[in-house]
Amino acid sequence: MLNKYPLWKNLLIVAVLLIGALYAAPNIYPEDYAIQITGSREVHAVDASLMEQVTNALSEQGISVKATEIENGSGLIRFADSDTQLTAKDTVHKVVGDNYVVALNLAPTTPEWLTSLGAGPMKLGLDLRGGVHFLLEVDLPKAVGQKLENYASEIKGKLREEKLRYRTLDIENSVMVVKFSDAAVRDQALEVLKKEYPNFLINSEEQGGDYFVTVALSEQAIRDIETYAIKQNLTTLRNRVNELGVAEPLVQRQGRNRIVVQLPGIQDTAAAKRIIGKTATLEFRLEAKPGTSAARNEIHSFRDDPERKATLENDIIIKGDNVANAQASFDENGQPQVNITLDSKGGELMARTTKGAVQRRMAVLFVEDKERTVYKTVDGEQVAEKIRYQEKGIISLATIQSVLGSSFRITGLDGAGESSELALLLRAGALAAPIYFVEERTVGPSLGAQNIETGLLSVQIGFALVLVFMLVYYRVFGLLANIALTLNLVLLVAVMSLLSATLTLPGIAGIVLTVGMAVDANVLIFSRIREELKNGLPPQSAINAGFGRAFTTIFDANITTLIAAVILFAMGTGPVKGFAVTLSVGILTSMFTAIMVTRALVNLVYGGRQIKKLSI
């Protein structure tokens, strides 16, 4: 029988539409303005007592709280509007202190029964939703200082290798000063260093019976170090952002020593701030031998027990930037650990050092650059001042049983969360210099709301005009096409939500284009039906011929557009990708609705009936 789908095909279409409606539904629930509180370390979990302190402090300030919740050691406070959210942030930070990250957020209100099915709202880009914006400052003087320390370790090793005894090697005002007790040894060292480091400014001095060699960086060398630090930090931050799974992020340099990071559509901004801003690395050092000079050693505490201390050598075997890969796992006792794989240089240095240090103990030192906020009263007002400092703590101190190579493991971590975070930081790459948050903000909600309103208005106007045209020009068939077009938008939103694609303003333009393209397919089909009717075919045959013979033309037109969209996605960046994603998804959904859904509706109205005239 003409124009009748089998039952299975009708059920399939209904099932697809119902699933589409289900997964598009979360987008009708608006998000709450919220503040998220997350511990800077695994041991600093948010509990009910802390949340009570925060809510009491907000109440004293006359700030109303919509709701609070605690999940996985992280606290969330919901507010009615963005102004209340912004006002509350400073109060919350004062209560929780620097052991917690306080971040602005937008919390979903999707019902639990939908989230349990894996349904969630579509992510909005920075131009629509707002999102988190960080301005980071790179500590370039620290980068130069760290490089000098590395060179100092290299020079010490070189002098020992050449059997040139020196008394001390110190860094004073960005200059390495090597002290000798013999002029002849000093002169030999001078020749060796000039040969090994031709780009350095190396001179000899004599004072009070002591003989010195000074090693200073040239201006060009300092500029090269600073340039490298910025580039390395950019690469590391991009890797960290990729580990977070953020869609369409922006990480770029601004000015001489600053980096802009924009993260649209991210839910856990507190975790993003903690991971991105964490300047953490590892140092592997040998435990000092008893009786060695105090000038060559440092005393450090253990991270899990500050009362417990160990004396370590100043010389660093390797640092975190020699790590090629890091994966979190558990040892045979179920304790968290990180499996480390070093690069070729790191493996060589580790093997060379441990070869002569079997049965000695080696420490893994966790080094982190941090900021502390101190509130001072100036002219009767409290002013926040940032104090930068470095925190070092021993993670593990284990006996070297045999020569170590490029693969080994780190134990002694506080928990699975810390092992995962440490592995992520090491895997993403070490920062060449500390970075500090200069500015943190969300793109103004009024800007986002205005963009959304403008974009939605453009979709509504385009949609309304198309509906009116189809209804007037094609009558009943136009009505059926309009129903299919509405379902097409529902499916498009559902697929975008399922793919966790980010909708941007150019993406909305892609939706408007999709509306036009979806109707274009129906126009081709309906025009073909009219032609067949004029050629004398009966209505049922005309319908069948119209859908059948227009399919090839529709398929060819859409497949070429889809190819162009895929190329745009592969080659483009940012807004271009956003446009390509919605266009690609829209092409696929529009072909389904324009051909199958419209045909099913036409079959429902006209199929299997004796008709003499079509309303088309």
Concatenating the DSSP letter of every residue in 439-499 gives EEEE--HHHHHHHHHHHHHHHHHHHHHHHHHHHHHHHHHHHHHHHHHHHHHHHHHHHHHHT
Segments of 123-249 assigned E as strands: 123-124, 132-138, 168-172, 175-180, 201-207, 210-216
By C-alpha distance, which of 145, 75, 46 is closest to 369? 145
Is 165 a domain residue?
yes
Q: Give the residue from 369, 397, 414 where a domain finishes.
A: 414
The torsion angle over the Cα atoms of residues 346, 349, 355 and 360, rounded to 10 degrees, is -80
| CATH number, domain with residue 390 | 3.30.1360.200
Q: Are residues 456 and 546 in the same domain?
A: yes
Is 132 a domain residue?
no
Is 548 a domain residue?
yes
Q: Are residues 57 and 149 in the same domain?
A: no
Q: Which two structure tokens, joined as six digits, stand for 571?
A: 């080659």
Q: What integer pLDDT is reported at residue 446 of this predicted model?
A: 47
Cα gap 132→127, rounded to integer Å: 11
Cα gap 529→543, rounded to integer Å: 6
Q: Are residues 91 and 11 in the same domain?
A: no
What are the CB-based long-range contacts (under 8 Å, 24+) for 46-54?
46/70, 46/73, 46/74, 46/75, 46/100, 50/75, 50/96, 51/75, 51/77, 53/95, 54/92, 54/95, 54/96
Q: What integer pLDDT is reported at residue 447 of this predicted model?
A: 52
Per-residue pLDDT of 488-498, as tens digits, reads 999 999 998 88
Q: Are residues 215 and 324 in the same domain?
A: no
Asked if residues 244 and 275 have their Cβ atoms less than 8 Å apart, the reply is yes
Low pLDDT (below 70) residues in the chain: 1, 40-43, 126-127, 129-131, 242-248, 265-271, 274-275, 277-280, 412-414, 418, 421-422, 424-430, 441-449, 451-452, 573-574
Cα gap 407→499, rounded to integer Å: 37
> What's the domain count of the chain?
4
| CATH number, domain with residue 199 | 3.30.1370
Q: How far is CA 579 from the centre of its chain?
A: 21
Taking each continuous run of H as one helix and of E as one strand, the counts in the chain are 15, 23
Q: Are residues 458 and 405 in the same domain?
A: no
- Secondary structure of 487-535 in HEC code, one letter for each residue: HHHHHHHHHHHHCCCEECHHHHHHHHHHHHHHHHHHHHHHHHHHHHHHC
Is 250 a domain residue?
no
pTM of the entire predicted model:
0.56
Q: Are residues 93 and 161 in the same domain?
A: no
Q: Are residues 454 and 590 in the same domain?
A: yes
| CATH number, domain with residue 496 | 1.20.1640.10
Is residue 134 packed enough to be buried (19+ CB in 10 Å), middle (13-18) or exposed (0-12)? Answer: buried
The torsion angle over the Cα atoms of residues 59, 61, 66 and 72, rounded to 10 degrees, is -80
> In angstroms, what is the C-alpha Rg of the chain?
33
Domain with 359 in it: 281-414
Q: Are residues 465 and 577 in the same domain?
A: yes
Q: What integer pLDDT is reported at residue 445 of this predicted model?
A: 44
User: If residue 250 lies in a helix (H) or strand (E), which one and from where to where?
Assistant: strand 250-254
Q: Is the dihedral of CA 423, 429, 433, 434 positive or negative?
A: negative
Q: What 3-state class would DSSP assign to 419?
A: helix
Q: Are residues 325 and 352 in the same domain?
A: yes
Cα gap 529→385, rounded to integer Å: 75
Nearest-5° Cα angle at 280, 276 to 286: 165
| CATH number, domain with residue 36 | 3.30.70.260
Q: What integer pLDDT is reported at residue 78 of this predicted model?
A: 92
Is 289 a domain residue?
yes
Q: Which two structure tokens, joined as six digits, stand for 87?
A: 């006002």
Residue type, 393: G
Q: What integer pLDDT is reported at residue 429 of this predicted model?
A: 60
What are the CB-based long-range contacts (under 8 Å, 24+) for 309-314?
310/363, 310/394, 310/397, 311/287, 312/285, 312/286, 312/287, 312/288, 312/363, 312/365, 312/394, 313/285, 313/286, 313/287, 313/288, 314/285
Q: Are residues 308 and 406 in the same domain?
A: yes
Is 114 a domain residue?
no
By C-alpha distance, which of 228, 226, 277 is closest to 439? 277
Q: Give the residue from 60, 92, 107 where a domain finishes.
A: 107
The torsion angle over the Cα atoms of residues 200, 204, 205 and 211, rounded to 10 degrees, is 120
Q: What integer pLDDT is reported at residue 20 of this predicted model?
A: 93
What are the Cα distances from residue 373, in Å, to 92, 98, 571? 13, 7, 44
Is 431 a domain residue?
no
**Which residue bears the tokens 């446009």?**
579
Asked if residues 247 and 122 have their Cβ atoms less than 8 Å apart, the reply is no
Cα gap 427→441, rounded to integer Å: 28
Q: Are residues 180 and 65 in the same domain?
A: no
Asked if residues 363 and 397 have their Cβ atoms less than 8 Å apart, the reply is yes
Is 469 a domain residue?
yes
User: If residue 354 lies in a helix (H) or strand (E), which one and from where to where?
Assistant: helix 344-355
By C-alpha distance, which of 494, 575, 32 is closest to 267? 32
By C-alpha distance, which of 443, 428, 435, 127 is closest to 259? 435
Q: Give the residue from 369, 392, 414 where a domain finishes.
A: 414
Q: What integer pLDDT is reported at residue 463 of this predicted model?
A: 82
Q: Are residues 483 and 547 in the same domain?
A: yes
